[in-house]
Structure 1
Amino acid sequence: MTSIAFALLFLLTLNVSAQEFKGLDKSPMDAASFPTSYKEANKLIKITYSRPQLKGRAVEELVKEGDVWRVGANEAAELTLYTDMKLGGQLVKAGTYTFYVIPGQKEWTAIINTDLNVWGSYFYNEDNDVARISVPVTTAKESLEAFSIAFDKSEKGVDMHLGWGTIRAAVPFTK
């Protein structure tokens, strides 16, 4: 009986050790939401995105001016609205969407699109855009190594702040 128990234990151990777990992603996935408190259950908006690092490179090397960008790395960023909101005066119904931008020197075009589960911006289809807005780009004194998104309350709703290196853009969502 001891031999049978040992054989079963060996097989179970072999099976467990055969599992392979992936290492940490070079551009880890993150999420930002508003309200920002983890204790607040009634979120208005949330974005899930990956956070690439500069690693000595310039933002302009990684994000090409005039090209649609997935906002982060890996899969395209997914934006969830928990209530109907407006982007640039265009009503966007509550739901989950892909969020893209088209970077420019002085302004970025923010885009909400119905495509989901897409890698990068390779499959971007303008026909599926729900809303677009152009927002000014500013330069900050502080440089951010990792691409970052944060929300804060505005007079008319919520602003989504995008930052990488010294580049900053604020995308206004209104109720």
Structure 2
Amino acid sequence: MKKLTGIVAFVCIVALFFSNNLQAQTFPKLDKSPMDAATFPSDYKNANKFIKVIYSRPQLKNRTIEQLAPAGKVWRTGANEAPEITFYKDTNFGDKLIKAGTYSLFTIPGEEAWTVIINKDLNTWGAYYYNEANDVARVKAPVKMADESVEAFSISFDEKGTMHMGWGNLRLAVPTATK
């Protein structure tokens, strides 16, 4: 009887070992363009946010902005999925009033200004399915050049709520004001 109990215990341990291996989860490697978020207000102590942008951060890696975001073509404003921008209150975005809600964020690069687009479509990969008919607003953001270069595309908000975008030496700014 002791021998039978030992065999049963051994079989149970082997079965348990193999079942854990079968249930083991494999995880993908880190994304080359990691997802990030920018909020206004941007301090972590203030949980009452007015705006949040969720986007992926492509890196230049010895490429030019023009190679990754060609002038005159709609760009997803980052990598992977088009970014989502949430306005928690009605907000002036540039000179356009945007109703509270979640939208996608696209841009059209230009030499002197980029067109920043707020669009109703959500869950879109890249700009492949961009539909201009669903634009809520288009705002021109003048191009400025900075001395410091930023490797990964970045979005941030300053203390006044202006949304800043930077990549390489390029800088854009869109003022916002909540209602």
- How far is 1:22 from its partner? 0.3
SS in structure 2 of the partner of residue 143 of structure 1 = strand
8 Å contact 1:88–1:131 — kept in the other structure?
Answer: no
| Distance in 2 separating the partners of 1:37 and 1:5 | 53
- Matched residue pairs, number? 171
1:16 to 12, 23, 32: 23
Partners of 1:75 and 1:60 in 2: how far apart?
19
Q: What is residue 91 of structure 2 aligned with on the other side?
A: 85
1:60 Cα shift? 1.2
SS in 2 for 1:153: coil
2:64 aligned partner = 58
Residue from 137, 141, 157 that aligns with 1:151? 157
- Does the CA-based 8 Å contact 1:162-1:169 persist in structure 2? yes
Residue of 100, 109, 122 corresponding to 1:103: 109
Report which of the two has the higher share of strand: 1
How do 1:123-134 and structure 2 match up within 5 A?
Answer: 123-134=129-140
In the alignment, structure 1 residue 162 sits paired with structure 2 residue 165: yes
CA RMSD of aligned residues (A): 1.2
Q: Distance in 1 between matches of 2:11 and 2:87?
A: 57
1:59 CA drift (Å): 1.0
Tell me, yes or no, if structure 1 residue 72 matches structure 2 residue 72. no
Q: Deviations over 1:123-148 (max 9, x none)?
A: 11011011111110000000001001
Post-superposition shift, 1:3? 2.7
Unaligned runs of at least 5 residues, structure 1: none
TM-score (norm 2): 0.91
Post-superposition offset of 1:161: 0.3
Unpaired segments of 5 or more residues in structure 2?
1-7
Distance (whole Å) between structure 2 residues aligned to residue 93 and residue 74 of structure 1: 26
Helix, strand or coil: the match of 1:30?
A: strand
Aligned residues of 2:71 and 2:111 also touching (Cα < 8 A): yes
Aligned partner of 1:7 in structure 2 is 14
Q: Distance in 2 between matches of 1:153 and 1:22?
A: 37
3-state DSSP of counterpart to 1:60: helix
Contact 1:87 1:132 (C-alpha < 8 Å) held by counterparts: no
* Match 1:47 to one of 53, 66, 69: 53
- Does the 8 Å CA contact 2:94/2:174 hold for their aligned counterparts? no
Kept in 2, the 8 Å contact 1:160–1:172? The answer is yes
**What is the alpha-carbon distance in structure 2 between the residues aligned to residue 39 and residue 153 of structure 1?**
14
In 1, Cα distance between equivalents of 2:151 and 2:104: 24
Q: In structure 1, how many angstroms separate the alpha carbons of the residues matched to 2:30 and 2:66?
A: 25
Deviations for 1:13-35, whole angstroms, at most 9, x for unmatched residues?
22233x22100000000001011
**How far, CA to CA, are the matches of 1:53 and 1:163 in structure 2?**
11
Which stretch of structure 1 is more off in the superposition, 124-133 or 1-10? 1-10
2:166 maps to amino acid = G
| 1:159 CA drift (Å) | 0.7
Identity score, percent: 56
